[in-house]
């Protein structure tokens, strides 16, 4: 006799079965971690509220599939919903319609930070998420060059800016506030802060799963203002293998760690160049720069991306991750998935720490 023909499984029994599912990264079951908010069973349907806050992250989608399998094995139809709010330690006052703010930063300019930020935003959209990108590089706003836009931001009756959309991504940039794209933004610290606050409080983003913020290079006012004003879910640091870039990226890692903003990991851009004539790979700028940062500061190395014409050359006016003809599209999409999974991991750890299942981690080396 099948289970569906016997007495129905109760909510308490189903929750016990869900405790058999282990978070693949944290290594603790999802019930003990506090990821299961509520379970109810009615008319053959199991309604389950989950403290998931990272839509379309591959690891959380796999966890969802495993939960559906357990529910089906109990002879029930699954109805899964995600909710992780203030009770789980997520800020619902600042940017209340944005689930996750991802900062993309670098220690110095010229490392491909904006290219990574725009491809990350477009890639998250490609996964199915609702995404915005904020070009907070006040002195060098280049996002509109990579995400071309038709028209300018609209303005609501409340005098809020409505971001235009490019490649599925809502875009706001300092570049919209300049008369000409080649005009310099000559601003002192207080004015930088004013514009940053306008981007935080004066933009009607709508409901977003992810807001990717392209920060200016270094550890100056704009980055500090962001950390003080926005609930940053995590930061992606971009470097090249060159020692100067690696040294400056170390400073950026420490800045985020000292402000208790999780460092999702380091991306090593321009890691290799593949010769189109001979097919050999060449390490033009050194090697393993991100590996050294990862080891010294206990942060993940997310990916290494090649020096390629599709990054910043032929693709001015578009993103690689949306171009099915680009031979490096798969590599870039792999980076996007890695970042989404790291956001999911940090969010789940936050829920577990708030519940008391995980202790606060001690600061990594160099973060004191």
What is the 3-state composition of the chain as percent helix, strand, coil, each rounded to the nearest 5?
35, 20, 45
Domain count, the chain: 2
In this structure, the answer to whether residues 125 and 219 fall within a common structural domain is yes
Q: Which residue has the higher pLDDT, 110 or 183?
A: 110
Matching residue, tokens 């978070």:
23
Please state, in angstroms and rounded to a whole number, the distance separating the CA atoms of residues 302 and 341. Answer: 10
Within 8 A by CB and 6+ apart from 270, the residues are 111, 112, 240, 241, 284, 285, 305, 306, 307
Average pLDDT over residues 113-120: 93
User: pTM of the entire structure?
Assistant: 0.88
Q: What is the mean pLDDT of the chain?
A: 83
In this structure, the answer to whether residues 175 and 261 fall within a common structural domain is yes
Would 361 be classed as within a structural domain?
A: no
- Structure confidence at residue 146 as a pLDDT band (50, 70, 90): confident
Has residue 310 got a pLDDT over 80?
A: no
Among 3-7, 18-22, 281-285, 335-339, the least confident range: 3-7
Please state, in angstroms and rounded to a whole number, the distance separating the CA atoms of residues 73 and 296. Answer: 45
CATH of the domain at 8: 3.30.300.130
Q: What is the pLDDT of residue 193?
A: 67
- Structure confidence at residue 7 as a pLDDT band (50, 70, 90): low
Q: Which residue has the higher pLDDT, 219 or 261?
A: 261
Has residue 363 got a pLDDT over 60?
A: no
Q: Which residue has the higher pLDDT, 288 or 28?
A: 28
Please state, in angstroms and rounded to a whole number, the distance separating the CA atoms of residues 119 and 146. Answer: 9
Q: What is the pLDDT of residues 250-272, one digit of tens each?
A: 989 998 988 888 999 999 988 77
Q: Which of 88-102, 157-171, 222-236, 302-316 has the highest mean pLDDT?
A: 157-171
DSSP secondary-structure letter at 87?
G
In this structure, the answer to whether residues 148 and 83 fall within a common structural domain is no
Q: What is the pLDDT of residues 40-91, one digit of tens each?
A: 999 999 999 999 999 999 999 999 999 999 999 999 999 999 988 777 777 7
In this structure, the answer to whether residues 300 and 264 fall within a common structural domain is yes
Would 231 be classed as within a structural domain?
A: yes
Has residue 366 got a pLDDT over 80?
A: no
CATH of the domain at 328: 3.40.50.300
Query: Residue 57: which domain range?
Result: 3-87
In this structure, the answer to whether residues 277 and 196 fall within a common structural domain is yes
- Structure confidence at residue 15 as a pLDDT band (50, 70, 90): very high
In this structure, the answer to whether residues 106 and 79 fall within a common structural domain is no
In this structure, the answer to whether residues 282 and 252 fall within a common structural domain is yes
Q: What is the pLDDT of residue 51?
A: 94
In this structure, the answer to whether residues 34 and 166 fall within a common structural domain is no
Q: What is the pLDDT of residue 4?
A: 46
In this structure, the answer to whether residues 70 and 134 fall within a common structural domain is no
Please state, in angstroms and rounded to a whole number, the distance separating the CA atoms of residues 168 and 124. Answer: 10
Average pLDDT over residues 32-47: 94
Average pLDDT over residues 275-292: 65
In this structure, the answer to whether residues 62 and 152 fall within a common structural domain is no
Please state, in angstroms and rounded to a whole number, the distance separating the CA atoms of residues 295 and 28. Answer: 25
Has residue 147 got a pLDDT over 90?
A: no
């Amino acid at each position: 006799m099948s289970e569906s023909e016997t007495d129905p499984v109760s909510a308490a029994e189903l929750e016990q079965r869900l405790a058999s599912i282990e978070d693949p990264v944290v290594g603790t079951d999802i019930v003990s971690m506090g990821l299961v908010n509520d379970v109810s069973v009615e008319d053959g349907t199991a309604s389950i509220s989950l403290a998931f806050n990272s839509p379309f992250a591959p690891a959380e989608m796999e966890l969802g599939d495993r939960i559906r399998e357990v529910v089906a094995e109990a002879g029930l139809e699954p109805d899964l919903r995600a909710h992780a709010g203030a009770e789980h330690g997520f800020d619902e006052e600042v940017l209340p319609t944005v689930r996750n703010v991802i900062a993309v930063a670098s220690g110095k300019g010229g490392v491909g930070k904006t290219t990574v930020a725009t491809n990350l935003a477009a890639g998250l959209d490609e996964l199915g998420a609702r995404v915005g990108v904020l070009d907070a590089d006040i002195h060098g706003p280049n996002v509109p060059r990579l995400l071309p836009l038709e028209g300018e931001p609209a303005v609501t009756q409340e005098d809020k800016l409505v971001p235009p959309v490019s490649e599925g991504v809502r875009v706001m940039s300092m570049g919209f506030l300049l008369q000409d794209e080649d005009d310099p933004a000559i601003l002192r610290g207080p004015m930088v802060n004013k514009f940053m606050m306008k981007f935080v409080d004066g933009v009607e983003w709508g409901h977003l799963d992810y807001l990717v913020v392209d920060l200016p290079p270094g550890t100056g006012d704009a980055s500090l203002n962001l950390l003080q004003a926005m609930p940053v879910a995590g930061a992606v640091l971009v470097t090249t293998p060159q020692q100067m870039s690696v040294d400056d990226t170390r400073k950026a890692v420490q800045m985020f760690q000292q402000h208790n903003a999780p460092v999702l990991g380091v991306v090593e851009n321009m890691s290799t160049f593949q010769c189109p004539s001979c097919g050999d790979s060449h390490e033009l700028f050194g090697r393993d720069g991100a590996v050294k940062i990862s080891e010294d500061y206990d942060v993940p190395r997310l990916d290494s991306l090649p020096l390629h014409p599709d990054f910043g050359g032929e693709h001015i006016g578009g993103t690689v991750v949306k171009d099915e003809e680009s031979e490096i599209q798969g590599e870039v999409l792999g980076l996007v998935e890695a970042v989404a999974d790291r956001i999911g991991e940090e969010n789940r750890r936050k829920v577990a720490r708030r519940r008391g299942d995980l202790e606060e981690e001690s600061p990594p080396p160099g973060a004191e």
